[in-house]
Structure 1
Amino acid sequence: MGMGLTRQLGAAMALALACCASAASAAEGNARLEDSEQQRYIAGLKRLYLTGDERRALLEHCNSLLGTYALRAGYQVGQPQRDDLSYRLSVGHPGELLAREEQRAEHGTRLAVRTERLSVFGLDPFIRYECPQSGITCTFYNPADGSPWLRTVRDLKGAEELAKALSFLVRNVQKG
């Protein structure tokens, strides 16, 4: 009886180890899949923006998307204060992303410019955003503290693409 129980425990241990090994290899496979997806995505951007530099391609793409989906006064029908709101990203010191915000009055010459520095070291590069159905904007949240960071006109496909590009840009800037 002792020998049968030992054999059963040994078989159970072998099965548990096999399950753990297959789960680890599946996770490793998913990581490789995500890596290859990122490599294909960035290769496409490098071709699109005619550059061999990943960071430059990602910055160009993010800035292009921010320009395309900028929150313009014309989209804000019925709003009391209809200002143009636009952003431009750049890289400052190593590990630092700069977001320049311009808020221009619909009528007149009032222009407010603000630059926010984001140190990306140690951050989760995933950019979270929301596009409420009841609103006209999508809000992208600062990965450092969760506060509102960028606002664009409400476009679900555009917001998804911008979040993806921003996430890859943060990862790239984290490399230094």
Structure 2
Amino acid sequence: MQLRLTRKLIGAALLSACMAASPVFAAEPGGGLSSAEQGNYLLELKRLYLTENERQALLAHCNDLLKIYALRAAYQVGQAQRQDLLYQVRQGESGELLLREETRGQQGTDIAVRNQRIALFGVDPFVRYECPTTGISCVLHNPNDGSPLLSIVRDHQGAAELAKALSFLIRNLQKG
């Protein structure tokens, strides 16, 4: 008898807890775009870059990360063609990201620049990356087709942070 009463009390407590919690869950916006994590992340970036504009903060953060984790010739010990790979992102037309890739030879005299337009409407905003254990670089993939987008020095945390920042930037640019 006591066991049945205890079960009923526990069931009632769980049911009332679920009922009390359901308005909280219903009030929370769904999905990742309006999550508390994203809000805190964007708030910290705006505070860090002293701006009220989310897009400007995201662009500045992505470009800073691209500078910090750039694949420099100094990291490429033992390779025949050592070169710096430098990247920069900026906003293009509505729903478009521009990626500038600059390749510099070891002496700094041979410079090649390549610009790429990345259409973002209808694209999954999550940027994937890979950091092979045998290589010296991490590769971030184009969200359009999964092809290699850019290479940075092999640093899992740096690649994860850059992929996160680029994903938030893509979401922001998809708004138009």
Does the pair score TM above 0.5? yes
Aligned-residue RMSD, C-alpha: 1.8
Amino acid corresponding to residue 100 of structure 2 in structure 1: R
CA–CA separation in structure 1 for the residues paired with 2:168 and 2:116: 19
1:31 CA drift (Å):
2.7
Runs of 4+ in 1 over 2 A off after TM superposition: 28-34
Q: Is the 8 A contact 2:29 2:35 kept in 1?
A: no
Partner residue, 1:130: 130
Partner residue, 2:121: 121
Matches within 5 A, 1:15-164: 31=31, 35-164=35-164
- Judged with a 3 Å threshold, the aligned counterparts in structure 2 of structure 1 residues 33 and 170 are, in CA distance, closer, same or farther, namely closer
CA–CA separation in structure 1 for the residues paired with 2:140 and 2:110: 25
Structure 2: 5+ residue stretches without partners: 1-21
Residues 143-176 of structure 1: CA deviation (Å, up to 9, x unaligned): 0011100100000111110010000000000000
Give the number of equivalent residue pairs.
152
Residues 117-151 of structure 1: CA deviation (Å, up to 9, x unaligned): 00100000000000011100000000001110010
Structure 1: 5+ residue stretches without partners: 1-21
Q: Give identity over the alignment, percent.
A: 61
CA–CA separation in structure 1 for the residues paired with 2:51 and 2:132: 36
Specify which structure has the higher proportion of helix. Answer: 1
Partner residue, 1:172: 172
TM-score, scaled to structure 2: 0.82
SS state of the match for residue 46, structure 1? helix
1:32 CA drift (Å):
6.5
Residues 19-74 of structure 1: CA deviation (Å, up to 9, x unaligned): xxx8xx69x77637962111110000000000000000000000000000000000
